[in-house]
Structure 1
Amino acid sequence: MSLRDRFLADPFTVEEDGEEHDETKLKQPPATRKELWSYYLYYNGDNGYTMFSYIPNILQQLAYMNGHNPNTPDIRGCDMENTMAPCNISWARGTSIPVASMMLYVQAISFSIQFLLFTTFGSLADYGRWNRDILLIATIIGCAAQILPITLVNNDGSGWGGMMALNIVALISYGTSLVFYGAAFPVLSDNLPAVRHALTNPALTREEKLTVSEKWRNYVSAWSTIFSNIGFLVMTGVLSGASFYPWHNGDVLGVDPLYNYIGTVVCGGYWVLNAIPYFIFRPRGRSGPPLPEGSNHFTIGWKSIFIAFREIRKLKYLFLYIFSYFMFSDAVNTTNQMIAIVQGEITQFSAQQITIMNLVSAVTSIIGCLGFLWLSRRFGIRTKTNLLIILFLSGLVAAWGCFGISLDNFGIKNSWELWAFYAWSGLFTAPIWAWQQTMLAELVPKGKENLFFGLFGVVNKASSWIGPVVIGAITEHTSNLWKGWPFILGLFIIAFTLVCLIDVEKAKLQVEEYQKAHPVDESDDSSNEYQQQLEKTAAKTEDSEKYAVSP
């Protein structure tokens, strides 16, 4: 598919081919321009910006206001002028833990709940008629969770528990919206006029019809992703500009704590405005296929994982790569969650700095992805080499953070270091998610893409809570968040070593032998149902960390 076809083609223009088409055999209503553009707009609003910026910033700030320095436990409220000083918050069974540990546990709780929910109930997104209703409910809850923090704007810190609950609900509802939004796109794209015309053309073979369907699925997927990034850039741009507005007391708005609350309301309202058209223009009768015979919504996701793990044992290098991905996915996710906590302490919860740093990261991420693509084509750098370079450069952040264990003036403890991190992560960490998929594509047998790409997404989701739990426990027992950096560095080192051990040429020979022993029967659609379900659920849930990982 050429660049022009990928972005500028019109799926509503159908060329006459002289064949007789009978669209009455198609069960779904045809897609309209309004439905397609409203689908893009939804992702424009549901861009996840506030989920990993203002909301955690508010929670951390309220916790500081209600917490206490462990050296003076009877004095309520930590020193807001010295946010790098120790600060504990009440926790379960009358104990207290560092605020940093609480923030990490919140992330771990939300992602572990998402993993269980999406694996168990993710099939509701793809099969039957529940997609629209659940997406609507998730959208309402998600928008409310982003707007409701404004009720705590004058809170003295005692409402931190309620804010923690809102944070968890917001993350889960946001993740749910991405799952059910993503699951709607195959049915939408397959009912574009150009695709319907091909599906009802008796002169086309099954493979030719699948080629047309894949072309327009790629088209819809590419444009929806573009709109999500546009929404993210719009929010960072608008809120960055608004942060310089002088407030009533002469202070810049971005420095005032109120700005965090304004940011959540703006992001929540932006999602509402962009979501409404989709629920208006989505036609009645739009639904997914029925469940495979003998399956149910509660077990199909877990069966898919079991089948994937059973098959992957036959492919040594693919298994090795999946394990390495588990390591570096956890390392990158936890790095960004650590930075989210550290930046609140360093900037004293300055929403202005956090907003502009996210803007820097958004811009450098684009530069980084395009830059690695150019280097690869210009110098013929292979996928494995590119991935190793990115892993090495990303791991340097963890090594950098280790200096903060014993130093007070270096080791991601200053504002300039935060700016450097955001630029560095955009340039050298953001490309990791593109190259890891390219690497996987080289190791996966033909016909098993759904199965193993789906397992890839499940591994990403499963690893998302492990790092935060470990770092949270380390911080709880040492009262030093920076002592968690060696753990993250260790994950990067293990991941880097495992990728080095992968012999791509031998892996390809192994794939060929596997394909000879396990030929794919493309005429048997039912045999691929579990593979498709694993991909549909897992690949979409991977997006729920999209901006936590690479803002």
Structure 2
Amino acid sequence: MSLKENFFTDPFKFDESLYSPGDKEVIEKQVPTTRKELWGYYLYYNGDNGLPIFSYITNLMLYLPYNAGFDPTSPTPNTPCNQNDNTKPCNVYFGSGSVPVTSLSLYIQAIGFVIQFLLFTTFGALADYGRWNVRILFIATIIACATQIIPMAFQDASSWPAMMAITIIASISYGTTLVFYAAAFPTLTYNLPIVRAARASNMPEEEVALVTEKWLNHVSTISTTWSNIGLLLVTGSLTAIAQAPYGESIIGNYPIFNNIGTAFCGAFWVANAIWYFIWIPKERVGPPLPKETNVLTVGWISLFRAVREARRLKYAFLYIIAYFMFSDGVSTINSLLGTTLLNLVTGIASILGCVVLLWFQKLVGLSTKWALMIILGATALIPLWGTFGIGFTTWGIHTKTELWLVFFWSGFATAPVYAWQQTMLAELTPKGKAGLFFGLFGVANKASSWIGPLVIGAITNVTNNVWDGWPFVLALFVIPMIMIFFIDENQARIDIAEYDRIEADAEAAAAQGTYSPETYSPEKAISEKL
């Protein structure tokens, strides 16, 4: 299969005779996706690449309180912390007492998780109705970009409390943009002209599913590739800026570079994000909120209904559990490897990984399920290799050569995880429930992001050997792979079709004022069908 057939196939220009009009209704009652909307979607992710959250903002959050802190073990009150040894204890005054600087990041994660859990659970389902998805994404983007630019004002150590607040807000708003950006992905893809033509034609359902799956994978992978292109562009630009003369050295050797870095990322995001909001069609509107709900209750009502009907959507919930585990594995690998200038290597490898796997999937006709399992298996090679380091000292991620290889492979294998994980969820999600399930996805991601590093820290404290934690990370990939293996994609489509039918009947009954949970429960519908 040629490169043109893989990456430059035009979903807006195709042989319409292959998708002869039929008598079926297009499932998504939306306007067709436009070329500008699709490119706006890609560009948005180019700016929303996460670099400042995981590097410059984090650096500032550690640097400022560390310089404002004191050594609690010193007999002299308010002795400054040892700037040359960050292993020495360092506290900052907090409330009526003091806390270790190293604990601040844990507080930030805990506060951020609780708030995001409430936000995603309460408002995640709103993405499925009206214009709420684009509105929430727009507001979250403004806040996220602002929190990346504002730290330019925080250069004095005494401003660390403000920086802590900004870090929490930045983390929450960034996480919100990821959830609502992803929630727009199924609707955007289903309404590509080529996909609409297939879904409205007389093609067999199996062929329609293949066309839809192909373009879900394509859009998800290309958007993830653009995110990594943005990461590479920003990292390369800031690496060049770091060489600029400043004082007696270069600016990259001074703390102010972190302020410049996060502001640069914020401005880059603004320049890329604005086009999506300009180009998204005004007619891209979901159905109105159900009559028995409002803005504050729709999320919880939708969640309770989905959980109650988990038997009909068992594969979607099984996948979310699997995602909880392997997402934790990815977060733990990133935590163990850390972030360095090797980010440039990882960025290039990430782009190659997405492109190569998309080409390979289309070449051999892999389903989303098997493509994701291959990706997880490839990523699992990292903790497997690290496990060898328990019994060996000359290999098993011990040498510089291995570290370079691991960083390259981490980018090559891990980046596609972000693309195919959301495609898999989109295929297991009922019509019009993307906001709800991607909100649950976001909760699972945030909940899992701290468990792995915490367990690794506990293992290391007991054994005094960080390599002893690699088997645990390996298990975070092996177990989800087994779970995903048992997901039956064909049966999932049948379950979703039945779920959609029941929901449609319930919505029609609600519009007529005859709806009751007992009448339109899945169990009753199934028993009647049997």
Question: What is the aligned partner in structure 1 of residue 331 from structure 2?
Answer: 333
1:317-347: CA deviation from partner (whole Å, max 9, x where unpaired): x96x97776455435424534665xx7xxxx
1:118-151: CA deviation from partner (whole Å, max 9, x where unpaired): 1332111222221121111111101000000000
CA gap of 1:68–1:487, structure 2 versus 1, over 3 A, is farther
Question: What is the aligned partner in structure 2 of residue 123 from structure 1?
Answer: 125
The answer to whether the 8 Å contact 1:47/1:232 transfers is yes
Q: In the TM superposition, what are the counterparts of 1:449-464 in structure 2 within 5 Å?
A: 459-464=444-449
CA gap of 1:491–1:312, structure 2 versus 1, over 3 A, is farther
Structure 1 residue 160: deviation in Å? 0.8
Query: Does 369-378 or 267-276 show the bigger shift?
Result: 369-378
Q: In the TM superposition, what are the counterparts of 1:150-549 in structure 2 within 5 Å?
A: 150-153=152-155, 155=156, 157-198=157-198, 203=202, 212-247=211-246, 249-290=247-288, 297-300=298-301, 302-303=303-304, 306-307=307-308, 326-327=324-325, 329-337=327-335, 340=338, 354=340, 356-365=341-350, 390-391=379-380, 393-394=382-383, 421=403, 423-428=405-410, 431=413, 434=416, 459-467=444-452, 485=466, 488-489=469-470, 491-492=472-473, 495=476, 498=479, 520=495, 522=497, 525-527=500-502
CA gap of 1:187–1:328, structure 2 versus 1, over 3 A, is closer
Rounded Cα–Cα distance in structure 2 between residues aligned with 1:22 and 1:371 = 36
2:84 to 81, 85, 92: 81
Rounded Cα–Cα distance in structure 2 between residues aligned with 1:226 and 1:423 = 21
CA gap of 1:225–1:483, structure 2 versus 1, over 3 A, is same
The answer to whether the 8 Å contact 2:61/2:160 transfers is yes
CA gap of 1:469–1:306, structure 2 versus 1, over 3 A, is farther
Rounded Cα–Cα distance in structure 1 between residues aligned with 2:407 and 2:286 = 38
Structure 1 residue 525: deviation in Å? 2.0
AA partner of residue 42 (structure 1): Y
The answer to whether the 8 Å contact 1:233/1:359 transfers is yes
Count of residues in correspondence between the two structures:
487
Structure 1 residue 424: deviation in Å? 1.8
Rounded Cα–Cα distance in structure 1 between residues aligned with 2:465 and 2:118 = 26
Name the SS for the 2:249 alignment partner. coil
AA partner of residue 223 (structure 1): I
User: Structure 1 length normalisation: TM-score?
Assistant: 0.70
Rounded Cα–Cα distance in structure 2 between residues aligned with 1:441 and 1:12 = 21
Q: Tell me whether 1:33 sits opposite 2:35 in the alignment.
A: yes
1:296-332: CA deviation from partner (whole Å, max 9, x where unpaired): 52225533663586579999xx96x977764554354
CA gap of 1:301–1:215, structure 2 versus 1, over 3 A, is same
CA gap of 1:485–1:159, structure 2 versus 1, over 3 A, is farther
AA partner of residue 226 (structure 1): T
AA partner of residue 227 (structure 1): W
CA gap of 1:86–1:266, structure 2 versus 1, over 3 A, is same
The answer to whether the 8 Å contact 1:239/1:263 transfers is yes
AA partner of residue 49 (structure 1): L
Unaligned runs of 5+ in 2: 365-369, 505-530
CA gap of 1:436–1:176, structure 2 versus 1, over 3 A, is closer
1:367-389: CA deviation from partner (whole Å, max 9, x where unpaired): 677899999999xx999798567
Structure 1 residue 53: deviation in Å? 0.7
Rounded Cα–Cα distance in structure 1 between residues aligned with 2:382 and 2:60 = 31
CA gap of 1:308–1:485, structure 2 versus 1, over 3 A, is farther
Structure 1 residue 75: deviation in Å? 2.5
CA gap of 1:493–1:121, structure 2 versus 1, over 3 A, is same
The answer to whether the 8 Å contact 1:189/1:220 transfers is yes
AA partner of residue 12 (structure 1): F
RMSD, aligned CA: 5.2
The answer to whether the 8 Å contact 2:329/2:473 transfers is yes
Q: In the TM superposition, what are the counterparts of 1:11-160 in structure 2 within 5 Å?
A: 11-13=11-13, 15=15, 17=17, 28-72=30-74, 74-91=77-94, 93-97=96-100, 99-153=101-155, 155=156, 157-160=157-160
Rounded Cα–Cα distance in structure 1 between residues aligned with 2:418 and 2:177 = 25
The answer to whether the 8 Å contact 1:119/1:301 transfers is no
CA gap of 1:245–1:103, structure 2 versus 1, over 3 A, is same
Structure 1 residue 221: deviation in Å? 2.5
Rounded Cα–Cα distance in structure 2 between residues aligned with 1:187 and 1:460 = 22
Query: Does 233-242 or 69-78 show the bigger shift?
Result: 69-78
Rounded Cα–Cα distance in structure 2 between residues aligned with 1:430 and 1:192 = 28
CA gap of 1:441–1:139, structure 2 versus 1, over 3 A, is closer
Rounded Cα–Cα distance in structure 2 between residues aligned with 1:95 and 1:399 = 41
AA partner of residue 413 (structure 2): P
Identical pairs, percent: 41
Rounded Cα–Cα distance in structure 1 between residues aligned with 2:322 and 2:32 = 43
The answer to whether the 8 Å contact 2:345/2:407 transfers is no
Rounded Cα–Cα distance in structure 2 between residues aligned with 1:322 and 1:24 = 28
Query: Does 80-89 or 462-471 show the bigger shift?
Result: 462-471
Structure 1 residue 113: deviation in Å? 2.7
Name the SS for the 1:122 alignment partner. helix
CA gap of 1:421–1:300, structure 2 versus 1, over 3 A, is farther
Structure 1 residue 66: deviation in Å? 0.8
AA partner of residue 461 (structure 1): K
Unaligned runs of 5+ in 1: 344-353, 404-410, 530-551
Structure 1 residue 220: deviation in Å? 2.7
CA gap of 1:208–1:520, structure 2 versus 1, over 3 A, is same
CA gap of 1:371–1:40, structure 2 versus 1, over 3 A, is closer
Rounded Cα–Cα distance in structure 2 between residues aligned with 1:400 and 1:108 = 32
The answer to whether the 8 Å contact 2:190/2:212 transfers is yes
Structure 1 residue 268: deviation in Å? 0.3
User: Structure 2 length normalisation: TM-score?
Assistant: 0.72
Query: Does 490-499 or 213-222 show the bigger shift?
Result: 490-499
